[in-house]
Amino acid sequence: MSVEMEFGLNVVEKMLSKAFEDLKCDRIDCMAYNVNLDYVLRSFKKYRALSKVNIYSNSERVTVSEEKKERVLQMEKSGKIKFFHISENENIVHAKVYRFWKDGAAVFGAVGSPNFSDHSNQNFESLIYVFDSDVIDSIWSKFEETCRKHSCKTKTSIPDSIFPLEKERKKIDDSYLAGLWEHQKEILKWSTSRWNVIINIPPGTGKTKITLTRVKHIFDTKKNTTALILVPTTPLIEQWGERLENFGIRWFEWRNIDESIEPYFANPAQNAIITLYSPRFFEQYKDYFQYIKIRKPNVIVISDECQYWYQHLEIFEEFNRLLSQMGSEVFNIGLSATLESFMKNQMERYIELMGGEQNKYEITLQAFYSRWNDCNPHPVLKPIKYFPIVYVLTHQEMSEYKKWSQRVGIESRRTTLGDEEICDAAIRRAQWVRGLEGGKEKLKEFLASHMEKFNGSNSIIFVQTNAIAEEIRKFITKHPSWDNESSAYVYDSERAPAYKRYAMEQFKRNRGFCLVSERVLKAGFDLPKISKVVLHGSHTSPRDWLQKIGRAIRYDPGKPESVAEVFDVVFYDPNKEVPLQMEIERYETLQAVSI
């Protein structure tokens, strides 16, 4: 492989000179943390052979002077400048990689320290030049592969930081921002100019407070407004009710359209009503509309865990249409920590119905830790210590896994099947992997060798079925190192209420384990703060592990030095000695944020 080294001042200009004067290139792919568009425009003027610049960067790090914005807009419309950008809230692109093309082939590449800006020319920077086209393409493909692996979707529009979508962004009085974390302030200010918003941020980072502050702001500015809050579980009704009361908002629980909620419909303005998605709202939304249209209030629809809409998008569309026909202003606020779903078509359709990606504010876990967590007097989330528990599939198991992956690949290319069928193979593959005996045995081995570590602290083990939970519980309590003064319960939605109350009392008061099945995660039980989480995988969503670690990562003012420990059963490919493809995002994300 032919390589050269460049070091010193004016390195970016020397690179461009080599590409467009010596090698007669005609196009550049530029990946850099900072990209200055004034410098890009000067490069077009200086190097006449340059016909196109593709820019891969963070949305917030693409800059241009005010007087050059119109020129950039013209160049973008003509196709000479094309953007592929990712918000820093999703992932931070800190690489500096350049690829130069000539007559449709990559002939020259450079990797090093400088950004694509004149400022970098003024610093001591370094670049490695690569002249092997296969190596250049291989380097670049790593970026594309990583984006796919972490579900990063690059935006091709001009970054909002240059040309905001709203010319006149509505302001919110600073009084509403008092007491909020910095990321909450930013999201709240962003939301005020939008009718529909999706807030997709990690658990424990205050989605509810952002939402209720926004509700309070709308109530104060539009007096004839009501709020409809949809939640997936009964315990969340009480949780939302408590928060509404703290904000001074009167609320009602909607079970059936009957006399118990007549006071709400008599005067819904400045009040809120809370109900379950299923079966209540999905079966009675037309009844709600018939009653609400008497007063014709504006309606704020708050969808907690908004992924519950994915299989009922026809109701979402119709309900919003009915409200609009009534003449009301309709605000939709979708909340989630795990927007990603195996039902990708439905997820993308929901985002589209909410106005598209520009109405989604997303902060990934790794971006939160790197950008937002320490912007306040104390952290929002605790530090994480990550401990992968590796189970390597046998070659026979790997062969079966590949068969499942082929089915997943086939189904992912279908667009005409029903909702459940489209994601059926992905779910069943995950169920099959999580149910492997080798994985359960590896978990047992780990617990046996670390029993003393767990005896003295509250921990939750997440497994996918009640049967596995009971199997692990028996293993723990029969182990010689188990502390008999500790407690171990299988806490799931099918247990008797008295059992669950007692188990929760013990868990909050005592030491030891609480074993949780997949159904409990959906059920939304108000589990206490914990110090340790054990993940035995999931099959409900590619990212529901975020919900599972949520209780452990919340900052505890009473224990400011505490750390969240995450123990994760990771399934490995025996041929490559790396995690299976379906495991990589979780594994790499938790590795990245781990201390």
Fold topology of 174-372: Rossmann fold (3.40.50)
Residue type, 385: K
Q: Taking residues 153-169, what's their average pLDDT? A: 67
Contact between 408 and 425 (Cβ < 8 Å): yes
Nearest CA to 201 out of 60, 89, 341 is that of: 89
Residue type, 299: V
Partners of 573 in beta bridges: 578
CA distances 298 to 222, 254, 295, Å, are 8, 18, 9
Indicate the helix (H) or strand (E) that contains 52: strand 52-58
Q: Which tokens in the block code for residue 540?
A: 């409900």
Nearest-angstrom CA–CA distance, 250 and 264: 9
Domain with CATH 3.40.50.300 in the chain: 174-372, 384-593
Q: Which tokens in the block code for residue 134?
A: 């296969």
Across the chain, what does the average pLDDT equal? 87
Nearest-angstrom CA–CA distance, 403 and 406: 5
Q: Taking residues 13-20, what's their average pLDDT? A: 93
Nearest-angstrom CA–CA distance, 500 and 323: 40
Length of the chain in terms of residues written? 595
- Interval 323-372: pLDDT, tens: 999 988 999 999 999 888 877 888 999 999 999 988 999 999 999 999 99
Which residue bears the tokens 């996918």?
464
Q: DSSP labels for 409-467? A: HHHHT--SS-HHHHHHHHHHHHHHHHT-HHHHHHHHHHHHHTHHHHHTSEEEEE-SSHH
pLDDT at 152: 76
Q: Taking 50 as the threshold, does the pLDDT of residue 422 lie above it?
A: no
Q: Which tokens in the block code for residue 211?
A: 């939402």
Fold topology of 384-593: Rossmann fold (3.40.50)
Task: Report the percentage of the chain scoring pLDDT > 70.
Answer: 92
- Interval 25-63: pLDDT, tens: 999 999 999 999 999 999 999 999 999 999 999 988 899
Q: Taking residues 273-288, what's their average pLDDT? A: 93
Q: Which tokens in the block code for residue 276?
A: 């379950």
DSSP annotation of 592 reads H
Q: Residue 413: pLDDT band by 50, 70, 90 thresholds?
A: low
Question: SS3 for 163?
Answer: coil
Bridge pairing between strands 564-573 and 578-579: antiparallel
Q: Taking residues 208-213, what's their average pLDDT? A: 96
Q: Which tokens in the block code for residue 361?
A: 């504010």
User: By CB neighbour count within 10 A (0-12 exposed, 13-18 middle, 19+ buried), where does 337 fall?
Assistant: buried
The residues near 567 (Cβ < 8 Å, ≥ 6 apart) are: 387, 389, 446, 532, 533, 534, 535
Q: DSSP labels for 334-396? A: EEES----S-HHHHHHHHHHTT-GGGEEE--HHHIIIIITTSSSS-SB--EEEEEEEEEPPHH
Q: Is the pTM of this model over 0.75?
A: yes
Nearest-angstrom CA–CA distance, 47 and 62: 21
Contact between 102 and 72 (Cβ < 8 Å): no
The residues near 376 (Cβ < 8 Å, ≥ 6 apart) are: 181, 182
**CATH of 3-149 given 3.30.870.10, 1.10.10.2840, 2.40.128.20, 3.40.50.300:** 3.30.870.10
Which residue bears the tokens 């009971």?
470
Nearest CA to 233 out of 268, 269, 279 is that of: 279
DSSP annotation of 60 reads G
Domain with CATH 3.30.870.10 in the chain: 3-149
Nearest-angstrom CA–CA distance, 296 and 289: 9
pLDDT at 420: 39
Q: Taking 80 as the threshold, does the pLDDT of residue 76 lie above it?
A: yes
CA distances 340 to 337, 369, 378, 589, 592, Å, are 9, 20, 29, 15, 20
- Interval 461-490: pLDDT, tens: 988 888 888 899 899 989 998 887 788 888
Maximum alpha-carbon separation in the chain:
82
